[in-house]
Amino acid sequence: MRLPLKYQVALAPALIIVLLVALIVYLQYELNAIRAENEAVREWTRVVETAGAAVGGAVNLDQVAGYIDWTRRTDAGNVAALEDFHFRYLDQYRDLRQTLAYPGYWDRLSDESRRFIEAIDQDIRYAEPLDTDRARIALAELIPRLEEVQSSFLAKRRYAFTEYYRNVNRLTSSLGVVATITLVAGVLIAVIASLWTMRTTRRRLQRLAQEAGAVCELREPGSTSLVFGRDELEDLAACMQNMTRRLVDVVGSEKLLEGAEEERRRIAMDIHDQTLADITSLMREARALSEVKGLDETSRRRLAGLAQGLEELTGDMRRVIDDLHPQTLEILGLGAALRSHLEKRLGGEGQPAFYLNIDREGERRLTPFARLGLYRILVEAAHNVVRHAAATRYEIDGRLQDDTLVLTLEDNGRGMRVEEVRGQGRGILNIERRARAIGAEVSWGRSRFSQGTRLEVRVPLTATTPADHPRQAHG
């Protein structure tokens, strides 16, 4: 399956973007891991600080208990000092309990350490009267345990620091390797995708340039085009300019023919309404004068001859009017108008037989200008057959194929080479010019008879609602 051009152009950038996104995802994943380890190191730092505070709190509590015990022995009457030491003991105890209750610290203690601290708490808790000996004995057991816990946490923090920096170094190294690999792979993929896109696009542009060149040079599409030695886009631009000029010429020819046909119609109407009416009136007047009584025989014969000449002139004028603009074409249609012309002008003794068959539905869908153009083309071709082909039979057939009306004229004459006779007269040029004016295609070939020529005219039809018209033969 061939990718559309826009996807081919976007392929290389898309692959690079995919690689960059993958690199960013990998980097984000590693950074998240490093961030988690960094947070763990920071948490261990807080835990170690808490462990140090717990050891310090236990030592301070032991000192306050010692002060209370010493004051009782040496200065028992100093009630104010004892009361102050009692309050200090209570504050130190609360601070120690709060320090030990820190979740990061308490949760990392072993179950045995937690049970030991909870048991010691019963001995050091402040109560009236305060048993300082019991509290100091308990604190003497608690402080070494807390120092042991602090040492354990310090070792774990050092291990977390070591792992953190090791992973940072690993990430730095791996990131450099991955970035290098991604860069090299991206460059290779971009080069390969760009070369493939350039090759594919160039091949398609060359094919398009060849087909456009064939159209510009009026050759069959697919044949080898001229090599201009320039960029394909410049060739296409030149072909577009050439086709634009040809299109302007065709449109100009169409407008010129439309104007000419309109002028012919106007002249034909003027001749019919004025000149022909005047001649008919003169003919009737001459006949009326030839029948006047008392007129000598010579004058009578001369007036009768004048009336006969005027009648013949009337017939000639009607033929001229029909040549200028066939009225039967507008009234009866293409098939009937062709049949009438062929029977009147090309029929009779010694003339080749003809067969005429045009699809009514296809004829109905023709525009008036296309109908008139086809009439002129087929009349011109039929006259050429009668004058030059030495044929005994010719056939005109019109068939509807999808949205195209295909008209063919075939004869059994001696045939011809279009290239050889193209410059010998204007018949073929007129046919091709009229065909281009109505947007039709003309082709010449061998007849289906044993010999002779085939003319084919393909006319694209305008979009209309099909009607139920049967295919009818006109001859």
Q: Please report whether residue 211 resides in a domain.
A: no
Other beta carbons within 10 Å of 180: 10
Paired with 457 in beta bridges are 407, 442
Q: Which residues of 373-401 are buried (b: 16+ CB within 10 A; e: fewer)?
A: bbbbbbbbbbebbbebbebeebbbbbebe
Residue 207 within any structural domain of the chain: no
What are the pLDDT tens digits along the chain (475 aa)?
A: 566 767 777 777 888 888 888 888 888 888 888 888 888 888 889 999 999 999 999 999 899 989 888 888 887 778 888 889 889 988 999 999 999 998 889 998 999 999 999 999 888 888 888 888 888 899 999 999 999 999 999 999 899 889 888 888 888 888 888 888 888 888 888 888 888 888 887 787 777 777 776 666 655 444 444 444 456 666 667 777 776 766 666 556 566 666 666 676 678 677 767 777 778 888 887 778 777 777 778 887 887 888 888 888 887 777 777 667 677 787 888 888 899 888 888 888 889 999 999 998 888 888 888 888 899 899 989 998 998 888 999 999 999 998 899 999 999 998 887 777 666 667 788 888 888 888 899 999 999 888 899 999 999 986 443 433 333 444 4
Predicted TM-score (pTM) of the model is: 0.46
Spell out the SS3 assignment of 189-207. HHHHHHHHHHHHHHHHHHH
Report yes or no on 201 lying in a domain: no
The tokens 């203690």 sit on which residue? 109
Q: Check whether residue 156 and residue 299 sit in a common domain.
A: no
Cβ atoms of 321 and 287 closer than 8 Å: no
Domain match, 265 and 389 both = no
- Cα(52)–Cα(319) distance, rounded to whole angstroms? 128
Give the domain range for residue 49. 5-191
Residue 350 belongs to some domain of the structure: yes
- Cβ 193 vs Cβ 19: under 8 Å: no
Which among 331, 330, 336 has a CA at the least distance from the CA of 396? 336
Same domain, yes or no: 285 and 175: no
Q: What are the pLDDT digits (tens) for 100-142?
A: 998 889 998 999 999 999 999 888 888 888 888 888 899 999 9
What is the CATH number for 343? 3.30.565.10
